[in-house]
């Protein structure tokens, strides 16, 4: 879970970077820091959340 507030626009750009639609350099300059924070939190939450076991 993300533990900070961010704009919906930053979340949209972060999702677009994650799926390969854009690079971080293509994100508007005023949003780059927020998008990097969202991406960093997403990376940290997926790498540390190995305790959950998928249910088939």
Does the pLDDT of residue 16 top 90, yes or no? yes
How high is the pLDDT of residue 51? 47
How high is the pLDDT of residue 42? 72
pLDDT band at residue 2 under the 50/70/90 scheme: low
How high is the pLDDT of residue 40? 86
Q: Between residues 22 and 6, which one has the greater pLDDT? A: 22
- pTM more than 0.85: no
Burial pattern 13-37, b for ≥16 Cβ within 10 A else e, equals bbeebeeeeeeeeebeeebeebbee
Average pLDDT score over the chain? 80
């Amino acid at each position: 879970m993300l533990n900070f507030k961010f704009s919906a626009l930053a979340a949209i750009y972060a999702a677009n970077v994650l799926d390969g639609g854009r690079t971080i350099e293509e994100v508007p300059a005023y949003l780059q820091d927020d998008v990097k924070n969202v991406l960093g939190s997403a990376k940290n939450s997926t790498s540390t959340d190995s305790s959950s076991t998928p249910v088939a």
